C-alpha cells in the first residue's frame, strides 16, 4: 500500500503521460469535463501497475466521438448504447464513458441506461468506494465522495450507497465483491456482507453470460479460493454454481473422509501455485482453474458408506465430468472450454494407478494420447490434487509424478510421442484390405494405433502383416 503522497505522485506521473495529457487537453479545449476514474486511481494507491485507462466525462457519446476522432489512431463505439467510446490514443487503448445514473427496475436483467451530468453523482453510483475515486483532468484534483481512500488504507470493501440499494441496482456487484476480495486481499465490510447473504436470490436476475464473465474474472485472481468461499458462505454460489456448496458433505461418527469442499479449494490454490511455478503467472489459465474447482463435484452423487467406516466415490470422475459439462453449458461457456474442463476431470484420477506398479511404456503412451492437447494442464491438475498432510505420502506421489513426466519427455524425444500415428494411414488400410470407406477402416486404424502404443514403432511392413492377421481373425470370427 502506497502512502497518500506516493499515490498522488504516481497519479501526477500518469496524468503527464502522452496519452492522458493528449486526452485532457482535447476535452478541455472542447469545453468538457474529463476525469481518470476507477481502477487506475485505485491502483495508484495500492502500488499496482495498471494497463487500463478509463475516463468519464459530461460529454455525450456523440460529443466524445467528436473530441476523440481527430486525436485517435482508431476508435470504436461498440459500447455506445451504454455511453462508452473506445479509442487508441498515442498507442494506448482507452475508454471514455459519459457520466451515468443507471438503475434497475427490479425485474430486468439489464440496467436502464441514464446519462448523468455530475462526476460526484456518477461516482456514488459505482460498485465500491475503492473504485469510486477519480482524478479531474487536467487540474489533478482527487475526487473521493465516499471515503474510498480511507477504505483503501484499511483494506475494506464497502458500497458507496447503502448495500441494499447498490446490490438492488445491480446484483452482479455481489459477485464483484467476492472477486475484489480475492484480487485485492480486502475484507468485505460487515453490513455489505450481510446484505450479500440477504439479497443472494437477486442474482437470479442477472444473465448467465454476465455471471460467467464475473466468475471467470474471480477465478483468474491470485486468491480465487477466497472469493469462492465468500460466494458459498453468502449463499450466492448455491444459485450460480450449486455443485460447490454441495461438496460440504455431512460426516457422521462412523464414516470418515476428507472434507471435499476444503480439499477442492486447496486444489484450486495449489493449481494456481503450479501455474506460477511452471511459468504461467502472466496468463492465468481459466481451464485449469475451473477443472481444479470442479474436479470432485461428482463425489456427492457417488458417495457410498461402506462397512468398517470406509467411504467410496466410485466413478466420481466420469459423473463429475458430466455435471461439469451441464453447469458450464448453463453458464454459457464456449464449447472448447467445456470440452477441455470435462476431459481433465475425466482423467484426473488416472495417474494414481502409477504408484501401484510401474507403468509400461505403452501405458505412458496411452496417458499422453488420452490427454492430447490437455497434457500440460493435466500435469498441473494432478499435482495440485495431492493435498495429503502425510509428508511421506505427498513426497512419494510427487516423486512418482516427476518420474512419469521424465518418462513422457524421454519417450517424446525418442518417438515424437505427441504425434504418434500408426504406420499405415486410412488410404493404405483400404488398399491393403481391398475395402471401401466405412466403419471398418476406423476399427483397423484403432487396432494399429493400439499396436503402436503397446509396442512402439514396428515399421510399415510389420504393420501390414499385423493388419492382415487382424483382418483374417476378424473374418474367421
Nearest Cα neighbor of 293 from 353, 352, 351, 333 is 333
Q: What is the pLDDT of residue 111?
A: 58
Using the predicted structure, report yes or no on whether residue 110 has a pLDDT greater than 70: no
pLDDT-derived band at 356, boundaries 50, 70, 90: low
Largest CA distance in the chain: 90
Q: If you average pLDDT over residues 382-396, what whole number do you get?
A: 86
pLDDT-derived band at 287, boundaries 50, 70, 90: very high
Q: If you average pLDDT over residues 226-236, what whole number do you get?
A: 98
The average confidence (pLDDT) of the chain is: 89
Residues 344 and 411 in one domain: yes
Pairwise CA distance, residues 366 & 357, whole Å:
16
Pairwise CA distance, residues 154 & 192, whole Å:
15
For the chain, give the number of residues: 477
Q: What is the pLDDT of residue 253?
A: 45
Q: Residue 97 phi/psi, 5° resolution? A: -125, 135
Residues 338 and 401 in one domain: yes
Q: Which helix (H) or strand (E) holds 240?
A: helix 237-240
Q: What is the pLDDT of residue 8?
A: 85
CA–CA distances in Å: residue 401 to residues 332, 347, 452: 34, 15, 24
Cis peptide before 138 (omega within 30 of 0): yes
Pairwise CA distance, residues 264 & 294, whole Å:
8
> Using one digit for the tens of pLDDT, what is the confidence trace for 151-189?
999 999 999 999 999 999 899 999 999 999 999 999 999
Residues 433 and 374 in one domain: no
Q: What is the pLDDT of residue 179?
A: 97
Residues 395 and 470 in one domain: no
Contact indicator for 462, 451 with CB cutoff of 8 Å: no
Q: Does any domain span residue 198? A: no
71-91 exposure pattern, b = at least 16 Cβ within 10 A, e = fewer: ebeebeeeeeeebbbbbebee
Q: Does any domain span residue 106? A: yes
Q: What is the pLDDT of residue 309?
A: 67
Using the predicted structure, report yes or no on whether residue 349 has a pLDDT greater than 60: yes
Residue with the bigger pLDDT between 377 and 277: it is 377
Using the predicted structure, report yes or no on whether residue 384 has a pLDDT greater than 90: yes
CA–CA distances in Å: residue 101 to residues 97, 104, 115, 167: 12, 10, 6, 15
pLDDT-derived band at 404, boundaries 50, 70, 90: confident
Q: Does any domain span residue 79? A: yes
CA–CA distances in Å: residue 449 to residues 101, 261, 411, 419: 63, 40, 16, 12
**How many helices and strands (H and E) does the chain possess?**
23, 11
Nearest Cα neighbor of 58 from 96, 15, 102, 21 is 96
> Using one digit for the tens of pLDDT, what is the confidence trace for 254-268?
445 568 999 999 999
* Cell numbers at 440, concatenated: 471398418
Q: Does any domain span residue 359? A: yes
Pairwise CA distance, residues 371 & 377, whole Å:
9
pLDDT-derived band at 319, boundaries 50, 70, 90: very high
Which of 119, 136, 154 is at the close of a domain? 154
Which of 131, 154, 177 is at the close of a domain? 154
Residues 326 and 250 in one domain: yes
Which of 384, 399, 419 is at the close of a domain? 419
Q: What is the pLDDT of residue 76?
A: 92
Q: What is the pLDDT of residue 347?
A: 95
Using the predicted structure, report yes or no on whether residue 355 has a pLDDT greater than 70: no
> Using one digit for the tens of pLDDT, what is the confidence trace for 422-463?
889 889 999 999 988 888 898 898 889 888 877 878 889 999
* Cell numbers at 88, concatenated: 487508441
Using the predicted structure, report yes or no on whether residue 351 has a pLDDT greater than 80: yes
Q: If you average pLDDT over residues 56-81, what whole number do you get?
A: 93
> Using one digit for the tens of pLDDT, what is the confidence trace for 119-133?
999 999 999 999 999
Q: What is the pLDDT of residue 101?
A: 77
Q: What is the pLDDT of residue 119?
A: 96
Q: What is the pLDDT of residue 282?
A: 60
Residue-number span of the structural domain to which 461 is assigned: 426-476
Pairwise CA distance, residues 94 & 85, whole Å:
8
Residues 411 and 439 in one domain: no
Q: Which helix (H) or strand (E) holds 134?
A: strand 134-137
Nearest Cα neighbor of 266 from 243, 295, 302 is 295
Q: Does any domain span residue 71? A: yes
Residue with the bigger pLDDT between 422 and 332: it is 332
Q: Does any domain span residue 6? A: yes
Q: What is the pLDDT of residue 254?
A: 40
Q: Does any domain span residue 228? A: no
Nearest Cα neighbor of 381 from 309, 445, 317, 319 is 317
In which residue are the cell numbers 482423467 written?
347
Q: Which of 12-16, 115-119, 269-273 has the lowest mean pLDDT?
A: 115-119
Q: What is the pLDDT of residue 476?
A: 52
* Cell numbers at 168, concatenated: 438492488
> Using one digit for the tens of pLDDT, what is the confidence trace for 9-21?
899 999 999 999 9
Residues 17 and 132 in one domain: yes
Nearest Cα neighbor of 205 from 106, 65, 79 is 106
Pairwise CA distance, residues 271 & 286, whole Å:
11
pLDDT-derived band at 270, boundaries 50, 70, 90: very high
Single pTM value for the model: 0.82
Which DSSP string corresponds to 105-116? -SS-SSPBP-B-
Residues 385 and 306 in one domain: yes
Report the domain count for the chain: 3
* 39-53, 262-276, 404-418: which is most confident: 262-276
Residues 408 and 442 in one domain: no
Residues 1 and 75 in one domain: yes
Contact indicator for 158, 166 with CB cutoff of 8 Å: no
Q: Does any domain span residue 59? A: yes
Euclidean distance between the first and the last CA atom of the chain, given in angstroms as a whole number: 76
* Cell numbers at 384, concatenated: 495440485
Using the predicted structure, report yes or no on whether residue 305 has a pLDDT greater than 90: no
Residues 106 and 251 in one domain: no
Q: Beta strands 84-89 and 156-157: pairing type?
A: unpaired
Nearest Cα neighbor of 24 from 117, 111, 138 is 138
Residues 381 and 432 in one domain: no
CATH number at residue 298: 1.10.3210
Amino acid at each position: 500500500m502506497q502512502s497518500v503522497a506516493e499515490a498522488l505522485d504516481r497519479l501526477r506521473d500518469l496524468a503527464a503521460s502522452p496519452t492522458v495529457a493528449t486526452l485532457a487537453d482535447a476535452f478541455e479545449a472542447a469545453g468538457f469535463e474529463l476525469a481518470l476514474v476507477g481502477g487506475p486511481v485505485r491502483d495508484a494507491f495500492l502500488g499496482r501497475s495498471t494497463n487500463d485507462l478509463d475516463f468519464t466525462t459530461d460529454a455525450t457519446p456523440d460529443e466524445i466521438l467528436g473530441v476523440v476522432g481527430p486525436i485517435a489512431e482508431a476508435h470504436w463505439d461498440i459500447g455506445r448504447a451504454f455511453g462508452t467510446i473506445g479509442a487508441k490514443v498515442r498507442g494506448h487503448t482507452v475508454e471514455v464513458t459519459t457520466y451515468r445514473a443507471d438503475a434497475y427496475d427490479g425485474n430486468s436483467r439489464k440496467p436502464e441506461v441514464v446519462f448523468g451530468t455530475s462526476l460526484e453523482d456518477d461516482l456514488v453510483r459505482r460498485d465500491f468506494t475503492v473504485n469510486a475515486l477519480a482524478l479531474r483532468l487536467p487540474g489533478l484534483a482527487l475526487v473521493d465522495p465516499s471515503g474510498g481512500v480511507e477504505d483503501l488504507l484499511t483494506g475494506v470493501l464497502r458500497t458507496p450507497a447503502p448495500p441494499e440499494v447498490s446490490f438492488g441496482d445491480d446484483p452482479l456487484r455481489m459477485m464483484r465483491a467476492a472477486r475484489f476480495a480475492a484480487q485485492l486481499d480486502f475484507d468485505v465490510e460487515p453490513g455489505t456482507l450481510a446484505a450479500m447473504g440477504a439479497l443472494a436470490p437477486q442474482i437470479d436476475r442477472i444473465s448467465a453470460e454476465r455471471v460467467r464473465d464475473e466468475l471467470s474474472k474471480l477465478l483468474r485472481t491470485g486468491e480465487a479460493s477466497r472469493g469462492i468461499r465468500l460466494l458459498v458462505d453468502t449463499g450466492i454460489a448455491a444459485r450460480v454454481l450449486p455443485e460447490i456448496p454441495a461438496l460440504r458433505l455431512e460426516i457422521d461418527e462412523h464414516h470418515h473422509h476428507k472434507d471435499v469442499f476444503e480439499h477442492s479449494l486447496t486444489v484450486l490454490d495449489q493449481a494456481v501455485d503450479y501455474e506460477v511455478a511452471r511459468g504461467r503467472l502472466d496468463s492465468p489459465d481459466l481451464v485449469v482453474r475451473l477443472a481444479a474447482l470442479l474436479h470432485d463435484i461428482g463425489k456427492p452423487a457417488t458417495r457410498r458408506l461402506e462397512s468398517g467406516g470406509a467411504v467410496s466415490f466410485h466413478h466420481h470422475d466420469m459423473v463429475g465430468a458430466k455435471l461439469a459439462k451441464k453447469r458450464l453449458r448453463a453458464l454459457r461457456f464456449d464449447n472448447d472450454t467445456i470440452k477441455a474442463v470435462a476431459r481433465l476431470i475425466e482423467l484426473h484420477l488416472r495417474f494414481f494407478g502409477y504408484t501401484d506398479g510401474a507403468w509400461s511404456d505403452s501405458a505412458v503412451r496411452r496417458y499422453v494420447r488420452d490427454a492430447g492437447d490437455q497434457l500440460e494442464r493435466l500435469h498441473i491438475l494432478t499435482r495440485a490434487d495431492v493435498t495429503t498432510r502425510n509428508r511421506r505420502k505427498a513426497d512419494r506421489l510427487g516423486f512418482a509424478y516427476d518420474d512419469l513426466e521424465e518418462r513422457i519427455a524421454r519417450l517424446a524425444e525418442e518417438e515424437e510421442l505427441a504425434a504418434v500415428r500408426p504406420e499405415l494411414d486410412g488410404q493404405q488400410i483400404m488398399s491393403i484390405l481391398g475395402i471401401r470407406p466405412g466403419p471398418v477402416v476406423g476399427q483397423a486404424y484403432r487396432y494399429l494405433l493400439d499396436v503402436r502404443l503397446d509396442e512402439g514403432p514396428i515399421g510399415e511392413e510389420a504393420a501390414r502383416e499385423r493388419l492382415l492377421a487382424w483382418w483374417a481373425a476378424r473374418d474367421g470370427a
